[in-house]
Structure 1
Amino acid sequence: MTADDCEAVAGIRTRGWQHAYRGLVPQPYLDGLDAGADAERHRARLADGDGTVVNLVAEADGGELAGWAAFGPYRDGDVRTEDAELYALYLPPERIGQGVARTLLTEVTHRCAAADHPRIRLWVLGGNARARRFYERAGFGADGAEESFEVDGVVVPEVRYTKELTGRP
């Protein structure tokens, strides 16, 4: 991902949230997501980043961005582990089911294995059945860790998924 991709990635992320989290996150929050502000945050993170977060984009024919993933070191408060974390994986709704997410996740998995991370972790909304099935088909499993965050006064539960990378993908 380059700074030139930030607008498209922000649009993908915003539309992805609005589609995937409908009914799970308050609708006024989803309706208020601002792709322009999100693009600025992406630009700032790229400019200020230390290289530990990797942003990948998938391109469709003609160069249009078809998906985005971000990964890096697992975040557990101030504790650093040798594990990797998939921070984000979003597609435009019309790209769901076309193999784009699988391609991005495969690339993330290969890169994490090549960097000798023992496992990849990610957080998924507990009620996001489609995403949970996708990760389960890719070899991830809920590991028992749960947490939640609050959006506009509504508690949104998340479940942590883990995939062991021993033996490499």
Structure 2
Amino acid sequence: MPPALRLATPADAAACAVMHAECWREAYGPYADPALLAERLADTEGWLAAWTRHLTEGPPRVLAEHDGEIVGFSVVGPGRHPGDATQELYAIYTRQAWWGTGLGQELWDAVRPDEPCSLWVLEDNERAQGFYRRNGFVADGARDFYDGLGTWEIRMVRP
């Protein structure tokens, strides 16, 4: 049975914090500075605080749940950086076991805005960039160093 999609609630904060950190470990391990990534992943209180804040103050987050376990999420909100589109894909993650299953596409479809949208993705993450290109995003030349992971990221936009 495929994962079910639903809106996150504040009661999901702890499970989402654990899932999100695991997604970072799986997705960013090959690209991030190992020490910086380990430091970020070790901050379990920070992950929980961020999820608690996002679920009470931020835009709605769509969760993917399978057999009672949160296995992915997506969220779109207003563009946050100069040059970003009207809307920004803040995050879309699935656990590695779900890569290539179509779950990422379902999560994107659940939050895809009608307005122009931008996102930031690690420059070396070709797998993620391929997904975004298949969904109409193109790199616009903007590039920034992500201090928190010690790696470069690029902006992609979808008109």
Q: Same fold (TM over 0.5)?
A: yes
Secondary structure of the structure 1 residue equivalent to 2:100: coil
Deviation of residue 8 (structure 1)?
A: 2.1
- The alignment status of 1:121 with 2:126, answered yes or no, reads no
- Distance in 1, matches of 2:100 and 2:11, equals 26
Mapping for residues 1-169 of structure 1, pairs under 5 Å: 1-32=8-39, 33=41, 34-47=43-56, 49=57, 53-60=59-66, 62-76=67-81, 83-109=86-112, 112-113=113-114, 117=115, 119-151=116-148, 154=150, 156-164=151-159
Which segments of structure 1 move beyond 6 Å, counting only runs of 4 or more? none
Instruction: Determine which structure has more spread, i.e. the larger CA radius of gyration.
Output: 1
Higher relative contact order (CA 8 A, sep 6+): 2
Q: Specify the code of the residue in structure 1 equivalent to 2:156.
A: Y
Q: Specify the code of the residue in structure 2 equivalent to 1:162.
A: V
Gaps of 5+ in 2: 1-7
1:17-71 CA distances to partner (integer Å, 9 max, x unpaired)?
A: 1111113211122233134430222112323x1x5x22111222x3432211121
- Distance in 1, matches of 2:44 and 2:134, equals 30
- Distance in 1, matches of 2:44 and 2:98, equals 18
Distance 1:95-1:82 versus aligned 2 partners, 3 A rule? closer
- TM-score under structure 1 normalisation? 0.79
- TM-score under structure 2 normalisation? 0.84
Number of residue pairs aligned between Structure 1 and Structure 2: 150
1:126-163 CA distances to partner (integer Å, 9 max, x unpaired)?
A: 011110111111221111211122137x3x21111111
Gaps of 5+ in 1: 165-169
Distance 1:139-1:124 versus aligned 2 partners, 3 A rule? same
Q: Specify the code of the residue in structure 2 equivalent to 1:59.
A: E
The answer to whether the Cα contact below 8 Å between 2:85 and 2:157 also exists between their aligned partners in 1 is no
Q: Specify the code of the residue in structure 2 equivalent to 1:158.
A: E
The answer to whether the Cα contact below 8 Å between 1:71 and 1:108 also exists between their aligned partners in 2 is yes
